[in-house]
Amino acid sequence: MISPATAEQSRTVPTRLPALRNSYAQLPERFFAATDPRPVSSPTPIRFNRPLAEELGLDADQLTGPNGVEMFAGNRFPEGMQPVALAYAGHQFGNFVPQLGDGRALLLGEVVDINGIRRDIQLKGSGPTRFSRNGDGRAALGPVLREYVVSEAMAALGIPTTRSLAAVLTGDPVYREVRLPGAVLTRVAASHIRIGTFQYFAARHDIDGLRILANYAIERHFPHLAGQAKPYRALLEAAVAAQADLVARWMLVGFIHGVMNTDNMLISGETIDYGPCAFMDAYDPGAVFSSIDRAGRYAYANQPRVATWNLARLAETLLPLMSTDENEAVAEAEEVLRSFQSSYEAVLQRGFRRKLGLLTEAEGDLQLAADFLDVLARGEADFTLGFRRLGDDLDADDAQGTARQLFQDPGAFDAWSARWRERIASEAADTATRRAAMHAVNPKFIPRNHRIEAMIQAALGGDFQPFEEMLAVVTRPFDEQPGMERYAKPPRPDERVLQTFCGT
C-alpha cells in the first residue's frame, strides 16, 4: 500500500506495465492540467477486461498482477507517464459554462491497438484536479458498475462507445447523500476530444488554440482530411456524419443518453458518459429517465434534434478557421449541418428495415416501421421484445405468437401484423434465413434499469455475482442463452425504475 505522503518517485515502477505515450500532453499547457492520481488506501480488483486488454495489445497477465491493480487505482504508474486532466467547456442543459474540464478523471496516455488505432486510457474517479470545482474527484461504486456494464453492452450491440478496461474498489468511502464505497474505472476511448473542448478555446477567443486542436483532431481521427483544400469544413462534415450515425444507432435500440451536453459529445462519434442513461422498456417516444432532465430536453425522441443543436455549437467554434469571410463561413457551416438529417435518416431507415426482417427496399416500408412504433406506444409494449419476437413468430400465426402477448390492445397489433406478413411474403427468403437476420440486429438482452439497480444494490452489500452474471448476459445480447430468460423480461410494475442519476 502506498500512502499519500510517500515520495513521488516511489509511485513510478519500472515494470512491464504499458509504456503509454501521451500525445495530448505534448500540446500547449493551456490544453490540460498535469495532475497525478491521488493514491487510495486499499485497492481491490472488481473486474479486468481481458479481451479488451488483448485487443489493445497489452500484457493481460501483467495487468492482473499487483502492479496492474495499483495502476488502475492510481497508486502506481510506469516511468515516464504523464497524467493530465483535460480542459473543456460546455453547454449543460442549454446553459454555457466556459470552464468545466476533467474534475475526476485523468488521461494516463495512449496505446496503438492491434488494428493500428490509437486509443486513450483514462482513470475515472482518481482524485481531484484543477477542474474539480470543489468536488472530491472520486467515483462511487454504483456509477462505476453501471458504466462498466452499459458501455460493454453497447459495444456488444455494435454501437460506437467508450469501453471499460478495469474497475477497482479503493477501500475508501465517498460521500454523496450517504456514505458509499469508492471505486475507480479505467476507461478506453478513441480520444476524449469533445465539442466542449472546441468551445473552451472559442470562449477565450483563442484562435491559435482552436487551430492546434482542430489539426490534432484531424490527425488523430480523420488523417485523410489533412490534404484537403478546406480541412476544417471537412472536419465538421466528419463530426456531423459520426454523430448522425451514432444517434441513429441509439434510437434503433431504445437507448436514452440522458445528458447530451456538449461536453459529453465526442467528435469521434463514440458514446461517452453513462451516468443517467437508460434503455426503454415500454416504448414511449417521450421517455425521460434522468433525474436532472426535468424539462425533458434529452428525451428519447429529442435526441436527433439535440445532436443537431450540439453540432451547431461545434460549427460556431470552427467558423474562424473555415474562412476569413464570416458570411461565407456561416453559409458553409449551415450547408454541412443540413446534411445531418439525411445521414441520420439513412442509417435509421436501413436499421428499421433490418429490424423488421425486410431484405429489400419497397415503397411503404418506412410507414410500416413508423406504424409499428405507433402500435408499440399505444399498446404500451416492450420496445426490445417487440422487435425480437417478430423474428421468433415468423412461422407462427399471430394467435399463437409471443409478440401479440406484449400488447394491451392486441387488435391494433393484429392489423399491423397482417400488413407486415404480406410485405415479407413478397420477398424470396426462407424463414430460417430471415429469422437469423432479424435476430442478428434485434437483441434479446439489454441492460434493463431494474436489473442494473438490483445488481448495484447487491454489490453495495459485497455480492458481485449479480454484476458478473449481468455482464456476461448483456455482452451476448443476440444469443438465446437458455436459463437467463429473467434478464430479458421487462420489469413488473413494482420493479420499474423511473429515474436514473448522474452519480457525480
Give the end-to-end CA distance of the chain in Å, rounded to a whole number: 26
Written as one string, the DSSP assignment of 351-376 is HHHHHTT--S--TTHHHHHHHHHHHH
What kind and span of H or E run contains 390? helix 383-392
- Name the nearest CA neighbour of 173 among 135, 141, 133: 141
* Residues pairing with 84 in the sheet: 34, 107
Identify whether the C-beta of residue 214 lies closer than 8 Å to the C-beta of residue 232. Answer: yes
Burial zone of 177 (CB within 10 Å; 0-12 exposed, 13-18 middle, 19+ buried): exposed
- Name the nearest CA neighbour of 198 among 314, 31, 319, 24: 314
| Three-state DSSP string of 475-490 | CCCCCCCCCCHHHCCC
Buried b or exposed e, range 450-464, using 16+ CB within 10 angstroms: bbbbbbbebbeeeeb
The residue from 102, 136, 263, 382 that is catalytic is 263
Q: Which amino acid is at 265?
A: M
Vertex 44 angle, CA 136 and 175, to 5°: 25
Identify whether the C-beta of residue 132 lies closer than 8 Å to the C-beta of residue 103. Answer: yes
Strands 12-13 and 77-78: parallel
Q: Which amino acid is at 221?
A: H
Buried b or exposed e, range 293-323, using 16+ CB within 10 angstroms: beeebbbbebbbebbbbbbbbbbebbbbbbb
Identify whether the C-beta of residue 290 lies closer than 8 Å to the C-beta of residue 259. Answer: yes
Q: Is residue 263 annotated as part of the catalytic site, yes or no?
A: yes
d(CA 346, CA 340): 10
* Residues pairing with 194 in the sheet: 266
| Three-state DSSP string of 311-345 | HHHHHHHHHHHHCCCHHHHHHHHHHHHHHHHHHHH
d(CA 478, CA 476): 6
d(CA 171, CA 42): 5
What kind and span of H or E run contains 106? strand 105-112
Instruction: Give me the active site residues, please.
Output: 263
